[in-house]
Structure 1
């Protein structure tokens, strides 16, 4: 039996899977298409690169505009929030601080002014000052209170109004004289007393001016001390001319002359008529009234008249001469003048009287000048007036008549024979006449002393 052998044919090798096809625009048709797609990609890349080089570059402004165009809403919201915070700070803190700093930097120097008493409770007051502002501005009408810094609580003695005006750079502020009421007399006296007695004095002012920077209005505070020169107790006060008037006029005045009253300040002062008691030591020897004391800065020569109390001088000759010991060593006579009455338009000005009464003035007069003025007054008055005045004082009219009559007779004869081109030498007889007059006065004093 034949054996049949079955032979299994060998399996063919597995067919490798086709390579994955690359997706192309043409639909992926085999290798050729793949190669074509690769070329297409390279061409596209080159085209893109060329396109990028051709695209224009944006400027910074365009970039910012594009940025703001995308985020404008957020910027708007941020701006609103910023303004809501900043504007109140600007108007409530920054601008007021700037205005206040400008006000604080003002010295308000008093460059001139005018003070005139009117009544016991009113006076005219005007000042000239200046403001220096770095910014153009405008101020409204402003009332300034005048007070003494050391007085507590705050007590103004007067106030003054500055009219509204425009300010730019160094601006002069002229406040014309205005009628001011005295708010506190004791405080006014205290301030005037310092003005009269000191070289420099502070005037404290306080106010709240409205300052306009364009349309912006701000209220500032003024609270400062202004320094101005004082009157130095009228240093340099003196009697320039003194004349004895015999007989006295209808008002009983036997004294006339002029005085010099220096004003060391910058304000014009008008105090009306001032009456002074004239004393030598503690003895009152007369009284004078200076008229229309309108004192401008510098020296002021003013007329006066008054009464010389010859009886008081003779009766108190010892104390009078003793009080003049130091002055006579200098060849002078010191006369003290104490203000006792200040009258303006018939009204007593008590606050000025109080100040003047506390500060006596001293006038030093040369002995030679004083005797010359007194003698000229006697001679000019005539022998009868001399006898009437001095005769009543010494109680010896017959003696005085003989002395003065002899003096007048010899004086007339000498004047008739004297050449107008020749100066007469002092005659011993003239000196003898005056020595006899002094002897008569001494005799009367000795009798009174017994």
Structure 2
């Protein structure tokens, strides 16, 4: 007994629970007798005990309560979802959607209707939805708050967030005045807005939602009065009774998605205050978003009032001079079918005024083949830079870009700029051109140039001196003239004053004092000392005269141009200047010793590269010991061309580079030797080499080495070890892995690669035992230098050998497996430069 309050059962036992609770476990006498006591030892008590009770949620009362509650909830929520929530979602989705008109082409325009071909895109709908939308009534189109028309649109299927509308439908004009105002605005404005309203039924999420409101504002580009018009061709093909025929071909960009069939358009042309005439374009069709070619044909009228003739003259002069001139074209009429007008379309076109930028698609050169038969120059001591020029006969070919009859009666106020070898020398202004006659049948003009001042530009004095030298010494010379002239011409459009531009090369007959132009060949460097380099050359002199010359020993001065620099090169020593009529060959020696080190180095560089130099051989009064020849030699100026080493030698014969793993991984210094050719007939010492190495235009490395070595005449020698410093960093490593190695996979185990070199080599020419040579620098560029390269590893390692542990993305594959090895190198590169690699990958993803 555990408590005095315990109950007593029928057997007189005290129970700790009501007897009505029958679910208990106890050990019966039968079980004890059956010997099952051990099996149920854990359930043996002196008295019976209460068994395990189930959780509350398994009780029948709780289960029935949940079932009934769920049914009530669903009965309320499902109708709410179907009739309230889903329609609200559908309307919100429709409101947030967008519609973009790609093309809307209007055809068959009539007073109350037209046909529209619509290409549009619907977007802005979540991609998780797939829906079908059907317009249950016509779509009403409004502009500026006014309804202008309506049209029927087919159902739209939306999938993946967007849908397409592509159909042809009838567009009913509901307000003709408002539609006419819209058409004007569409043609003139940069942009406009349409508002589309309708009702629709949406099928989505297995439901059909009706009576949805459609209200969309569409922003579209207008035609801006065809402001993007570009002239492709402008021509006056023939005379006409009223003036001249006109033909204009223009390209018009259409920035608007709106297209329209315009048919036949008539336009009135004008410029400033002058009414020029009327033009017509047929079969005009605008297509939304696409350019259009407009062919205008008509008549330009003859002008009689002087103000209008002046304006016409300006228009034509600007066209000849390549100056854009804005003419105007105002709409007169439009006939969509070529016969009948439509009032709203006529109202729009007649309100339109286009700007037509008249300009030739290509520059015009009206006066060509200018030829000055004779030209005199008078130079006064008090005006050395203002000589007087005169010519008795000037002819030119005159060609206008028009096929109308033109009779030029006057040429005046010509302004010319004389250009000699690219340098403007002077401006020549002629007040009056006399005796002008025009033979337009043969496109030829003949006129004279009266005495006129030639004012030399202050920055062109040297060029003018060179020009005079050429004129005085040569029988033939030339220069270029650019300028313009004012002309008066009779045309079918009236008497016009045209400013005619011209550009022409002019041939002149020179004095011919120095008609002897020697030829120089077989130029060879044969020696040198500290003061000069000695060259031998063959000099050929063609004497056009009947005289023979025997002048004995002669010393002349040779000047020339190299690399854009001009200067004295040195002395020409002729042991015996003796020549007769015809060709004479002489042996000459040139002592090369220019004063300017830069000019010296440029000459040597171009000489080795096989360039040909423009030179002048001149004399002085001291060039000869023969007194009678002194003035002749003092005036001697013979232009010639001096060739370099031809064929040009390849100085860098080859290269050999075998970088070790350490140099590649660490400082990226590639050991290299080069084989150098001496093309001279004397010794050549290499003192210093500075070079840049390129492969297929990509910078590969630089050499900066002071490693003296000598090369015998005509021989080849190998340099001491040099170092090519390759770029460090991620970008060059990426270049090696992605570009260089894939194209030259053999260098992993050793192969020849052709590289380009840009070098600057300090040399000494002609040095021998006890005799100093002539020092100079050679700038030399050479392509396709064969270089043997062997890269034991790539450029994927960073900074030092210690960093290789960070690159162990996976085991290094065999070099023989080229593609796999390249992939490993890329992985190693990206591991070595994680930040740069991340930025690179991000750039690729963009």
**TM-score when scaled to structure 2?**
0.37
Q: Which residue of 2 aligns with 1:303?
A: 295
Residue from 123, 133, 149 that aligns with 1:139: 133
1:276: Cα distance to partner? 0.8
1:278: Cα distance to partner? 0.7
Which has the higher Rg, Structure 1 or Structure 2?
A: 1
**Are 2:162 and 1:171 equivalent residues in the alignment?**
yes
1:111: Cα distance to partner? 2.6
Give SS of 1:272's match. Answer: strand
CA separation in 2, counterparts of 1:370 and 1:279?
Answer: 23
**Are 2:228 and 1:236 equivalent residues in the alignment?**
yes
Q: Which residue of 1 aligns with 2:350?
A: 357
Classify 1:215/1:247 alpha carbon distance in 2 versus 1 (closer, same or farther; 3 Å).
same
The C-alpha deviation readout for 1:63-89, integer Å capped at 9, x for no partner, is 3x55334x58x927x845x56654554
The C-alpha deviation readout for 1:43-98, integer Å capped at 9, x for no partner, is 998997646867454256533x55334x58x927x845x56654554344222211
The C-alpha deviation readout for 1:261-286, integer Å capped at 9, x for no partner, is 22111333332221111112343221
CA separation in 2, counterparts of 1:370 and 1:59?
Answer: 103
Classify 1:93/1:39 alpha carbon distance in 2 versus 1 (closer, same or farther; 3 Å).
closer
Classify 1:303/1:24 alpha carbon distance in 2 versus 1 (closer, same or farther; 3 Å).
closer
Residue from 288, 296, 313 that aligns with 2:279: 288
Q: Which moved more, 1:161-170 or 1:220-229?
A: 161-170
Structure 2 unaligned residues grouped into runs of 5+: 1-6, 27-47, 367-398, 408-436, 447-479, 497-846
Give SS of 2:167's match. Answer: strand
Give SS of 2:87's match. Answer: helix
Q: Which moved more, 1:131-140 or 1:52-61?
A: 52-61
Give SS of 1:265's match. Answer: coil
Q: Which residue of 2 aligns with 1:318?
A: 307
Give SS of 1:67's match. Answer: helix
Classify 1:190/1:338 alpha carbon distance in 2 versus 1 (closer, same or farther; 3 Å).
same
Contact 1:99 1:218 in 2 (8 A): no
Residue from 177, 189, 211 that aligns with 1:219: 211
Structure 1 unaligned residues grouped into runs of 5+: 1-21, 26-36, 388-404, 415-424, 444-450
CA separation in 1, counterparts of 2:490 and 2:8?
Answer: 157
**TM-score when scaled to structure 1?**
0.66
CA separation in 2, counterparts of 1:278 and 1:174?
Answer: 41
Structure with larger RCO (C-alpha < 8 A, sep 6+): 1
Contact 2:93 2:125 in 1 (8 A): yes
Contact 1:246 1:377 in 2 (8 A): no
CA separation in 1, counterparts of 2:277 and 2:17?
Answer: 131
CA separation in 1, counterparts of 2:144 and 2:159?
Answer: 30
Alignment of 1:116-135 (within 5 A): 116-125=107-116, 126-134=118-126, 135=129
Give SS of 1:269's match. Answer: strand
Classify 1:55/1:337 alpha carbon distance in 2 versus 1 (closer, same or farther; 3 Å).
same
CA separation in 2, counterparts of 1:436 and 1:43?
Answer: 137
Classify 1:42/1:308 alpha carbon distance in 2 versus 1 (closer, same or farther; 3 Å).
closer
1:233: Cα distance to partner? 2.2
CA separation in 1, counterparts of 2:8 and 2:257?
Answer: 108
Higher strand content, 1 or 2? 2
Alignment of 1:19-168 (within 5 A): 25=10, 38-39=12-13, 50=25, 55-59=51-55, 62-63=58-59, 65-69=60-64, 75=68, 79=71, 85-125=76-116, 126-134=118-126, 135-142=129-136, 143-151=138-146, 156-168=147-159
Q: Which moved more, 1:178-187 or 1:168-177?
A: 168-177
Classify 1:202/1:53 alpha carbon distance in 2 versus 1 (closer, same or farther; 3 Å).
farther
Q: Which residue of 1 aligns with 2:335?
A: 343
Classify 1:209/1:408 alpha carbon distance in 2 versus 1 (closer, same or farther; 3 Å).
same
Classify 1:132/1:84 alpha carbon distance in 2 versus 1 (closer, same or farther; 3 Å).
same
Give SS of 1:217's match. Answer: strand
CA separation in 2, counterparts of 1:339 and 1:272?
Answer: 13
Classify 1:252/1:321 alpha carbon distance in 2 versus 1 (closer, same or farther; 3 Å).
closer
CA separation in 1, counterparts of 2:364 and 2:327?
Answer: 11
1:197: Cα distance to partner? 2.8
Give SS of 1:245's match. Answer: coil
CA separation in 2, counterparts of 1:323 and 1:441?
Answer: 9
Give SS of 1:166's match. Answer: strand
CA separation in 1, counterparts of 2:97 and 2:352?
Answer: 34
CA separation in 2, counterparts of 1:253 and 1:406?
Answer: 21
Q: Which residue of 1 aligns with 2:198?
A: 207
Classify 1:227/1:60 alpha carbon distance in 2 versus 1 (closer, same or farther; 3 Å).
farther
Classify 1:84/1:273 alpha carbon distance in 2 versus 1 (closer, same or farther; 3 Å).
same
Contact 1:244 1:256 in 2 (8 A): yes
Classify 1:24/1:252 alpha carbon distance in 2 versus 1 (closer, same or farther; 3 Å).
closer
Contact 1:243 1:376 in 2 (8 A): no
CA separation in 2, counterparts of 1:264 and 1:60?
Answer: 75
Q: Which residue of 2 aligns with 1:435?
A: 488
The count of corresponding residues between Structure 1 and Structure 2 is 366
CA separation in 2, counterparts of 1:263 and 1:362?
Answer: 15
Alignment of 1:244-255 (within 5 A): 244-248=236-240, 254-255=245-246
Classify 1:41/1:220 alpha carbon distance in 2 versus 1 (closer, same or farther; 3 Å).
closer
Contact 1:138 1:164 in 2 (8 A): yes
Q: Which moved more, 1:324-333 or 1:259-268?
A: 324-333
CA separation in 2, counterparts of 1:43 and 1:348?
Answer: 109
Contact 2:229 2:250 in 1 (8 A): yes
Contact 1:260 1:299 in 2 (8 A): yes
Contact 1:120 1:347 in 2 (8 A): no
**Are 2:267 and 1:276 equivalent residues in the alignment?**
yes
Q: Which residue of 2 aligns with 1:447?
A: none
CA separation in 2, counterparts of 1:341 and 1:436?
Answer: 35
1:105: Cα distance to partner? 0.4
CA separation in 1, counterparts of 2:105 and 2:259?
Answer: 5
Give SS of 1:58's match. Answer: coil
Contact 2:9 2:15 in 1 (8 A): no
